[in-house]
Structure formats: structure tokens, C-alpha cells
């Protein structure tokens, strides 16, 4: 048993660049969860980890200790393989919405435990809550019943999963230690492994609108998470995908739901369809479901059926009108040419400033607000055409949103296409 004063010896060991022992890691995570290690001590340790790093064994043990701080879910009784997807977050990334019902329509079970947005990246639960009546919270019992009958659920992760992570996440946020790859990877994977899914596909974003702007950092994060998953018996693969330019044609809540429903209806923006299908194929392959082409399930309406049943099972009305913002503002193209650049981060900030996101935890979001763009990078635009539509219930926020978009896009005469899926790690 390591005692309270030993928090300092754990901090010193990492400060001086040593690997932490299994006993040190197990003790410090458990003691911190119980409140025996103070926040200032854990902040000092988090900073030491950020600066000194952790090796593969340390990260693996750290993750296991966070999982051990709470409950583990078990879906083995469902009799069908379970697979989940995690995205590191981006602008216009509504992929979870069409993906979960699509993969369920192809025979897997998708327990998609999702989160809320903080800052400019939208949260999946906030998007889903734009659907009238839909609720995010399901008890474990309700979740199991819904997975059995519908095959998919998008819901809030219960407080019982990796409580150490919840506490540490809040601390990292206010101490400048969010960027540590070891801490990001263990945070994401502790929740995903505790969730009890048999396979996991990671969408690790890279570019201006991503958490990791550089490809090397994104690749290292992907590799670390893939190793963590596989080391703990969850079949894990990662796709490295481009987030320099936003996904689809919308960033917001109801706007993104509408776009997701278009994808489920067999339409929607080509990049959203492409990434949804790529991830669906990875998820099906990870659980050994072969000979099913997810494109067929989009085309013939099977995925849409699952979406409607999934919405209804969580109290939502799949036929209801989605909320719309009360005010709109348009930005027109000042010249003709090719849209050669559209910066993802700027679009995310513009949507956030209109009311699509929150500045602190617990704040409400405006379901109808956000940004639509009417051309994709590489499209030809004509002088005078509408380039952006801004949606908000609080028109006084429009100038700040326009300021974010200012300088974020260019009209030129050519453009260099970038692949959406940059790499596969697994």
C-alpha cells in the first residue's frame, strides 16, 4: 500500500524522467479517484507526463487503472458482435449519425456511447437532441433492450464508466495538459474499453479543424490507441482522415441532422457518404461480417429504417420538423472561380459563435444555429452566388461569426485535391 505522502514520490519519479511502476500507477489513479491525492498533486503529475511522456507499458497500465476505477459493460449476451466508432472530433463531423444505423442494418450491434461538444467541435449528443423528443440518457438496462431490438443506440455514457477519467479530464482542461498523447489516448480508450465493445474503429482527424493539426502527431495518437485497444483484447483499427476542410455542407445541430438524414436517404454530400462507407466497411470487417456492402443498405432504405427505429426508441419523433433558427445572414461570392480553400477551424468557430456550441459545460446550445456552405473545396462558384448561410436565434452574434469566416476561404483558379482517408493503422 502506498501512502498519501507518496504522491510526491510518484510526481518526482515522472518529473525526473523515470517510468512509473505498475504499483505506482494503480495507487495514484485509485487514490485520486477516492480523493486521497489532491488536484494540485495530480496536476503536477499530469504536467510531468506531458513533458516526459509514458512508454507503452505505462500507458497500458494507466488505462487499465482508469477502467478499474468504475464498471465495465458486457454485451456478450446479445449474440451478435458489437462494434463502435470513435472520432477525435472535427467540424461538420456528423458521421456517427448515419453510421450507427447503417452498420446495424448490416448485422452488427452498435452501442455508440457519445459525448457533448465543448468549444468549437460539435458533440454528437447535442446534434441528436435537435430531434424533437429524443433523449440521450439510457440506463444500462434500456441500452441492452434497445441494442437487442434495434441493433443501434447513440446515447450518453453512464457515469459509472471510468470515473477516474471524468475527474482527470476536467483537471487537464484547466491545467494546460490536454495535449499529452499518453493522456489523450488513455482517456479515450479507458471509456471505450470499459464500454465492453468487441471491436473499435477510430477516426483520427488531422488538420486545422482537428485536435491534432499535424499528421505525425495524429499518427502517433492513432498508433497509441490501436496498441492500447489490441493489448486489452478489443480488436482496434484507426483511419487517419483529413480535417483541414470541414465535412459535408453544414456545421451546427439540426443542420447536421438534416444532412445525415439525406445521407440515409441515399443522397448527401459525397465526402460524408465516402467516410461513412469507409468506416462502415472497417467496422463490419473488424467483427467478421463479410459479403455485405453497406452502400446497398443506404440505397435500399434499410439504414433509414434502423435510424427511425433508433430515434423512436429514445423518445424522438423521426417524422418531426427539425428546429430552424429565426435569423439568417448570407455571404456571397465576390468573384467567379474555384473555391480553393475553406478552413475547418474558422467554420467551426463561426458556427460556435452563432450559438451551435457552448462556452462552458452545462450551457444550452441553439438547435437551429450554425453555418451552411453552398460549395465544397474544388467546386466552381459564380460571382454573386450564395457562398455561406449563417443561422442563429441571436442576430447580435452574426458580426463575430462573420469575423471568424473572414480570410478563411479563397476563390482561385485551381485547387489541389487531398485524399479524405490519408492512412489506415491497424
* DSSP secondary structure string for all residues of 280-338: HHHHHHHTT--S--HHHHHHTSHHHHHHHHHHHHTT--TTSPPP--SEEEEEE-SS-EE
Which residue intervals of the chain bear CATH 1.20.970.10?
A: 4-53
Q: Residue ranges of the alpha helices (H) in 329-426?
A: 344-351, 398-405
pTM reported for the whole predicted model? 0.95
Specify the pLDDT at position 116. Answer: 80
Query: CA torsion 123→254→324→313, rounded to 10°?
Result: -110
Contact between residue 229 and residue 200 where contact means Cβ atoms under 8 Å apart? yes
Domain 4-53: top CATH class: mainly alpha
**Nearest alpha carbon to residue 198 among 96, 290, 288, 95:** 288
Q: Which three cell numbers stand for residue 303?
A: 439504414
Full DSSP string of 156-185: EPPTTS-HHHHHHHHHHHHHT-TT-HHHHH
Phi then psi dihedrals of residue 245, to 5 deg: -120, 145
Specify the pLDDT at position 181. Answer: 95
Specify the pLDDT at position 1. Answer: 60
Specify the pLDDT at position 24. Answer: 96
Euclidean distance between CA atoms 72 and 70, whole angstroms: 7
Q: Which residues are catalytic?
A: 86, 165, 172, 187, 191
Within a 10 A sphere around the Cβ of 417, how many other Cβ atoms?
7
Euclidean distance between CA atoms 41 and 268, whole angstroms: 49
Domain topology for 76-313: Pyrimidine Nucleoside Phosphorylase; Chain A, domain 2 (3.40.1030)
Domain topology for 327-412: Aldehyde Oxidoreductase; domain 3 (3.90.1170)
Supply the Cα-derived Rg of the chain in whole angstroms. Answer: 22
**Nearest alpha carbon to residue 425 among 187, 276, 228:** 228
Q: Specify the DSSP class assigned to residue 397.
A: G
Intervals of the chain under pLDDT 50: none
Which residue intervals of the chain bear CATH 3.90.1170.30?
A: 327-412
Which residue intervals of the chain bear CATH 3.40.1030.10?
A: 76-313
Specify the pLDDT at position 160. Answer: 87
Q: What tens digit of pLDDT does each residue of 70-111 get?
A: 999 999 999 999 999 999 999 999 999 999 999 999 999 999
Amino acid at each position: 500500500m502506498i501512502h498519501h505522502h507518496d504522491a510526491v514520490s510518484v510526481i518526482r519519479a515522472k518529473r525526473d524522467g523515470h517510468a512509473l511502476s505498475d504499483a505506482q500507477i494503480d495507487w495514484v489513479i485509485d487514490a485520486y479517484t477516492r480523493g486521497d491525492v489532491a488536484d494540485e498533486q495530480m496536476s503536477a503529475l499530469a504536467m510531468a507526463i506531458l513533458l516526459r511522456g509514458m512508454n507503452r507499458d505505462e500507458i497500458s497500465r494507466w488505462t487499465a487503472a482508469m477502467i478499474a476505477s468504475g464498471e465495465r459493460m458486457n454485451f456478450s449476451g446479445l449474440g451478435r458482435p458489437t462494434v463502435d466508432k470513435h472520432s477525435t472530433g472535427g467540424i461538420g463531423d456528423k458521421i456517427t449519425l448515419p453510421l450507427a444505423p447503417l452498420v446495424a442494418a448490416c448485422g452488427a450491434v452498435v452501442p455508440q456511447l457519445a459525448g457533448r461538444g465543448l468549444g468549437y467541435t460539435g458533440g454528437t449528443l447535442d446534434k441528436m437532441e435537435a430531434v424533437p423528443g429524443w433523449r440521450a440518457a439510457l440506463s444500462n438496462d434500456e441500452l441492452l433492450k434497445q441494442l437487442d431490438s434495434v441493433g443501434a443506440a447513440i446515447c450518453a455514457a453512464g457515469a459509472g464508466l471510468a470515473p477516474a477519467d471524468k475527474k482527470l479530464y476536467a483537471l487537464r482542461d484547466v491545467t494546460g495538459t490536454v495535449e499529452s498523447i499518453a493522456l489523450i489516448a488513455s482517456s479515450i480508450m479507458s471509456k471505450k474499453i470499459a464500454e465492453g465493445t468487441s471491436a473499435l474503429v477510430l477516426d483520427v482527424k488531422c488538420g486545422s479543424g482537428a485536435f491534432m493539426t499535424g499528421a505525425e502527431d495524429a499518427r502517433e495518437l492513432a498508433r497509441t490507441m490501436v496498441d492500447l485497444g489490441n493489448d486489452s483484447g478489443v480488436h482496434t483499427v484507426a483511419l487517419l482522415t483529413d480535417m483541414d476542410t470541414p465535412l459535408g455542407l453544414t456545421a451546427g445541430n439540426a443542420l447536421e441532422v438534416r444532412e445525415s438524414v439525406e445521407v440515409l436517404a441515399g443522397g448527401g454530400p459525397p465526402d460524408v457518404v465516402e467516410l461513412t462507407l469507409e468506416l462502415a466497411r472497417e467496422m463490419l470487417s473488424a467483427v467478421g461480417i463479410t459479403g455485405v456492402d453497406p452502400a446497398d443498405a443506404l440505397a435500399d432504405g434499410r439504414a433509414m429504417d434502423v435510424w427511425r427505429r433508433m430515434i423512436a426508441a429514445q423518445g424522438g419523433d423521426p417524422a418531426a420538423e427539425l428546429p430552424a433558427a429565426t435569423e439568417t445572414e448570407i455571404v456571397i461570392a465576390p468573384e467567379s472561380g474555384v473555391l480553393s480553400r475553406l478552413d475547418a477551424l474558422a467554420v467551426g468557430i463561426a458556427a460556435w459563435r452563432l450559438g451551435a456550441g457552448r462556452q462552458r459545460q452545462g450551457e444550452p446550445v441553439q438547435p437551429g444555429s450554425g453555418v451552411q456552405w453552398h460549395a465544397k473545396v474544388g467546386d466552381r462558384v459564380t460571382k454573386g452566388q450564395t457562398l455561406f448561410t449563417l443561422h442563429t436565434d441571436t442576430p447580435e452574434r452574426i458580426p463575430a461569426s462573420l469575423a471568424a469566416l473572414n480570410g478563411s476561404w479563397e476563390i482561385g483558379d485551381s485547387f489541389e485535391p487531398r485524399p479524405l482517408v490519408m492512412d489506415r493503422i491497424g
